Structure formats: structure tokens, C-alpha cells
Amino acid sequence: MELSPRDKVMAQILQAPEKLGQQVGFKDLTAELHGKWIRKMIDGEGDYTLQAHRGSYKSSCLAVAIAILMILKPKRNIIFLRKTDSDVAEMLGMVSKILRTQVIQDIVLRYWHKALVITGESMNHLSTNLWHSPMGAPQLLGLGIRSSMPCMT
């Protein structure tokens, strides 16, 4: 059975999400490791804790994964927690920048047959025209919890 054009777009992105990351500006993402992380963030089941050394591009992978989720699975809302409000603002800024790239604009046009528009944006929330909430919730909500993250095992 042949894939629909939409399924082809999704399959292409999920097959090598690190390549999309490279196209939106994260030139140091590598296929084997970073692609695996991004796919796990997008399609993984249950809780997922990513532990890696400083400078391993964990945040870059997360920003790419969030952007992909926002465009391919826009009926899901996302809550992003970090220790400080400034850490939240930094991540939402990266996601916003990714969503504004031409490559993402082209993907959304091919996938949804309409232009991507950021409809709401601040230091702690981000929404696009692909998202509709009857309660007015943002598509991506970021919260600084002002303390260390608890370790759950």
C-alpha cells in the first residue's frame, strides 16, 4: 500500500529528525545519537529521562522535538517544565525560532496545505494556527518551577 502525501512527509521527518534539526540551524546534531533521542521524545511511551553530558545537545534535540510535535501532532498540548523562568523562555525562544524557519514553513504547507502562523507567544507560552483549544489553553506552556526537578524512579 502506498503512503499518502501526508504520511510521506511524516515518515521523512521521523526517519531522520536530526537532518531537520540541521536544516533549522543545529549543525552539530548527528544521525545515530540525536535522531534516536528526538524520535524517542516524539513517539516514546511513558516517561523518558535523557541523561547526557553537558554540551551533548540535549536542549537542541528537545527544541526540535517540540517543534515537530507542534506541527505534526497539533491536537496535543505540551507542558514544558524547567527550573527557572529564564530557562523556560530560552527553550520557547528556540522553538519559536525553529517554527519561523523556511523549512518548517514549507513542511507545514505540504502537510496541512496552509501557512503556519504563530498566534500566541510570550516567555511562557506558544501557539500556532494548527492548534485550537476550546478552553483557551496554549499549545505549548512553559513553567519555571523555581526549584530543582525531583528525581522520580
* pLDDT tens per residue across span 103-118: 999 999 999 999 999 9
In a domain, 134, yes or no: yes
* pLDDT tens per residue across span 83-95: 999 999 999 999 9
In a domain, 153, yes or no: no
In a domain, 73, yes or no: yes
Instruction: Say whether pLDDT at 151 is over 60.
Output: no
d(CA 29, CA 32): 9
In a domain, 149, yes or no: no
In a domain, 62, yes or no: yes
| Cβ contact 141:80 at 8 Å | yes
**Average pLDDT of the residues in 2-22:** 88
In a domain, 40, yes or no: yes
Q: What percent of the chain has pLDDT over 90?
A: 65
- What separation in angstroms does the CA of 105 have from each of 68, 83, 110? 12, 31, 9
Which range marks the domain in which residue 67 is found? 5-144
Number of domains in the chain: 1
Q: What are the DSSP E strand ranges found in the chain?
A: 78-82, 118-121, 125-128, 140-144
In a domain, 151, yes or no: no
Instruction: Say whether pLDDT at 122 is over 60.
Output: yes
**Average pLDDT of the residues in 61-70:** 95
Q: Which three cell numbers stand for residue 5?
A: 502525501
Global model pTM greater than 0.85: yes
In a domain, 150, yes or no: no
Of 4-13, 80-89, 128-137, minimum mean pLDDT range: 4-13
